[in-house]
C-alpha cells in the first residue's frame, strides 16, 4: 500500500534522495566500498562537504562573512553551544514553546537571560507578537525558534530588532527565503527538512565569534569547526551525504522560493478542510498557523472519534499524524518533501470520515 508520511521528524524525504543515498551506501562513487566504510578524509568525501556548503550558501543566499558547519549533537546541543559562544552578558529569548524554553534554560548557565515574550499562558497556541521594541538594546542577541514543531506555530519572517538574531530553524529551514544578514547564527537539526537524522547545520557569522568572555572546550568553540571545515573530528558522513542529495533535489525543484510556494499551497488546502469539516478544528490562532506542522483536534462533540479517525487514516496508508504527546489530537507535518498528493489523501480521508458520521 502506498504510504503518506506525515511524521514530524525524522520525517519524509524525497524518494530520489533516499534512492541515491542507498546507491552510495552500497558502492560509494564506484570505489567498491560503502559510504559507511570510507574515511571522512577520503579524497572523494571532501567534495561532498564542499558541495553541501556551496549549496547551502547558494540556496539561502548567504552573504560573505558567514560559515556553514556540520556537527553532531542535534539542535539540543546548540541550545548550550549558542550561548557558550555568543552570550557575553545578556541574551534575549522568545518563549514560543518547549524547544525555545529548553534553549532558554541552557542559556541561563552562561549569563543573564531576558524573556522578552511568551505564549506559554495560552498553551503556546500562538506565536508571540509585538515584542520587538522590548528587546534590550544591550542584549548580545535575540533567540527565536522560528517554527514550533510541537504546537504548529510559526513566525515565517526575520524579525526587525536592534540586536543580532539567533534562530533555531530546525523545522522550517530551507522552506522559505531568509535574510541571513540579520542573524549571528542559524541552527537546525537535519531530520526534518534537510536529511536523515544525525547532523546539525549551523550557519555562523564569522566576526561575531570569539567575543564571549570564557574559555571554551575545543569541541564547543565554533571556530574549531569553522577553521577545520567541519573536519576537526569525524563528521556524520552518511547524514551529510543524504543532505547533499536533498539540497541537490531542492535546487532542481526551484530552491527555497518554490519550496515556500508549495508549502503555502499544501497548508492552504489542509487548513481549509480543517476549518470546513464539522468533525475537526485547528488548535492554533490563525495568524500563527505553521505551514510546516499543521495541528488539529476533533471538535468537542466528536471527541470520542479521535482514535477511530487515526485508525481510519492508518488503513489508507496515512502515517505519522498523531499529535505530540503533550498536545494530543493530530499533527500533519508537511516539510519540503511532502506532496500535494499526500495532503489530498489526508483531506479525502477527513471528508470520507465525516460522511460516515
**Interaction between residue 145 and ligand PLP (CB under 6 A):** yes
User: Is residue 74 near ligand PLP by the rule CB under 6 A?
Assistant: yes
Whether 99 is catalytic is: yes
Of the candidates 76, 224, 277, 339, which one interacts with ligand PLP according to CB under 6 A?
A: 76
Q: Is 224 annotated as a binding residue?
A: no
d(CA 291, CA 259): 11
Which cell numbers in the block locate residue 171?
523545522
Tell whether residue 75 is among the known ligand binding residues: yes
Q: CB burial class (10 A; 0-12, 13-18, 19+) of residue 140? A: buried
Instruction: Choose, from 99, 140, 172, 260, the residue flagged as catalytic.
Output: 99
Q: E strands within the chain?
A: 4-5, 66-71, 90-95, 112-118, 142-145, 147-148, 153-154, 165-168, 183-189, 200-205, 280-282, 293-298, 318-319, 330-333
The interface mask with ligand PLP, positions 79-118, x = CB under 6 A, is --------------------x-------------------
Is 179 an annotated catalytic residue? no
Residues 160-179 vs ligand PLP: string with x where CB under 6 A?
Answer: --------x-xx--------
**Angstrom distance (rounded) from CA 69 to CA 49:** 9
Can residue 149 be called a binding residue for ligand PLP (CB under 6 A)? yes
154 forms part of the interface with ligand PLP (CB under 6 A)? no
Query: 243 with 71: CB under 8 angstroms?
Result: no
> CA-CA distance, 78 to 65, in Å (whole number)?
21
249 is annotated as an active-site residue: no
Q: Is 31 assigned to a binding site?
A: no
- Tell me how far apart the alpha carbons of residues 239 and 40 are, in angstroms, rounded to a whole number: 12
End-to-end CA distance of the chain: 25
Pairwise CA distance, residues 178 & 158, whole Å: 7
Q: Is 191 annotated as a binding residue?
A: yes
Report the SS3 class of residue 145. strand
Indicate whether 189 belongs to the interface with ligand PLP (CB under 6 A): yes
Q: Which is nearer to ligand PLP, 79 or 330 (CB)?
A: 79
Residue 279 or residue 329: which is nearer to ligand PLP going by CB? 329
Q: How many CA atoms lie within 13 A of 126 on its CB side?
A: 11
Check the annotation: does 233 bind a ligand.
yes
Cis check for the bond before 10: say yes or no (omega within 30 of 0).
Answer: yes
Which is catalytic among the residues 140, 158, 172, 192? 192
Question: Considering only 72-80, 173-181, 218-226, 344-352, which stretch makes contact with ligand PLP by CB under 6 A?
Answer: 72-80
The reply, when asked if residue 168 is annotated as ligand binding, is yes
Closest CA to 333 of 155, 146, 152, 125: 152
Q: CB 349 → ligand PLP: shortest distance, Å?
A: 25
Separation CA 337–CA 75 (nearest Å): 21
Q: How far is the CB of 5 from ligand PLP (least distance, A)?
A: 16
Among 5, 6, 9, 158, binds ligand PLP (CB under 6 A): 9
Residues 6+ apart with CB under 8 A from 211: 86, 88, 140
- Closest separation between CB of residue 154 and ligand PLP, Å? 10
Q: How far apart are CB 200 and ligand PLP at their closest, in Å? A: 6
The catalytic residue among 140, 168, 172, 260 is 168
Structural contact between residues 309 and 279, judged by C-beta atoms closer than 8 angstroms = yes
Residue 20 or 191 having the CB closest to ligand PLP:
191
Shortest distance, position 104 Cβ to ligand PLP, whole Å: 12
Nearer to ligand PLP, 70 or 99 (CB): 99
Nearer to ligand PLP, 5 or 171 (CB): 171
Among 49, 60, 69, 75, binds ligand PLP (CB under 6 A): 75
**DSSP code, position 322:** B
Active centre residues (catalytic): 99, 168, 192
Using CB under 6 A, list all residues that contact ligand PLP.
9, 74-76, 99, 145, 149, 168, 170-171, 189
**Residues of each annotated binding site:** 41, 75-76, 99, 149, 168, 191, 233-234
Amino acid at each position: 500500500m502506498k504510504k503518506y508520511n506525515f511524521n514530524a521528524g525524522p520525517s519524509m524525504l524525497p524518494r530520489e534522495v533516499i534512492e541515491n543515498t542507498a546507491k552510495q551506501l552500497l558502492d560509494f562513487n564506484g570505489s567498491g566500498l560503502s559510504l559507511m566504510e570510507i574515511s571522512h578524509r577520503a579524497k572523494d568525501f571532501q567534495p561532498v562537504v564542499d558541495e553541501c556548503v556551496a549549496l547551502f550558501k547558494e540556496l539561502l543566499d548567504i552573504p560573505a562573512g558567514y560559515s556553514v558547519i556540520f556537527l553532531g549533537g542535534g539542535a539540543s546541543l546548540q541550545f548550550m553551544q549558542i550561548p557558550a559562544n555568543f552570550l557575553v552578558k545578556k541574551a534575549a529569548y522568545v518563549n514560543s514553546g518547549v524547544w525555545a524554553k529548553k534553549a532558554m534554560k541552557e542559556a541561563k548557565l552562561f549569563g543573564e537571560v531576558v524573556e522578552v515574550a511568551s505564549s506559554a499562558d495560552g498553551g503556546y497556541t500562538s506565536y508571540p507578537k509585538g515584542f520587538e521594541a522590548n528587546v534590550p538594546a544591550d542584549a548580545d542577541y535575540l533567540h527565536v525558534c522560528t517554527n514550533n514543531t510541537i504546537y504548529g506555530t510559526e513566525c515565517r519572517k526575520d524579525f526587525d530588532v536592534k540586536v543580532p538574531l539567533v534562530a533555531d530553524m530546525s523545522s522550517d529551514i530551507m522552506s522559505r527565503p531568509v535574510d541571513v544578514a540579520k542573524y549571528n547564527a542559524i541552527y537546525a537539526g537535519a531530520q526534518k527538512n534537510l536529511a536523515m537524522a544525525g547532523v546539525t547545520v549551523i550557519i555562523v557569522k564569522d566576526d561575531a565569534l570569539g567575543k564571549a568572555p570564557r574559555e571554551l572546550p575545543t569541541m564547543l568553540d565554533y571556530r574549531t569547526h569553522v577553521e577545520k571545515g567541519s573536519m576537526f573530528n569525524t563528521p556524520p558522513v552518511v547524514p551529510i551525504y543524504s543532505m547533499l542529495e536533498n539540497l541537490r533535489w531542492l535546487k532542481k525543484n526551484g530552491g527555497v522560493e518554490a519550496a515556500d510556494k508549495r508549502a503555502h499551497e499544501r497548508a492552504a488546502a489542509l487548513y481549509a478542510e480543517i476549518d470546513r469539516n464539522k468533525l475537526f478544528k485547528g488548535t492554533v490562532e490563525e495568524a500563527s498557523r505553521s505551514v510546516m506542522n499543521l495541528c488539529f483536534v476533533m471538535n468537542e462533540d466528536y471527541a470520542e472519534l479521535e482514535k477511530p479517525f487515526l485508525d481510519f487514516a492508518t488503513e489508507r496508508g496515512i502515517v505519522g499524524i498523531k499529535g505530540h504527546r503533550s498536545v494530543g489530537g493530530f499533527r500533519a507535518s508537511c516539510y519540503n518533501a511532502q506532496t500535494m498528493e499526500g495532503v489530498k489523501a489526508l483531506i479525502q480521508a477527513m471528508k470520507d470520515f465525516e460522511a460516515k458520521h
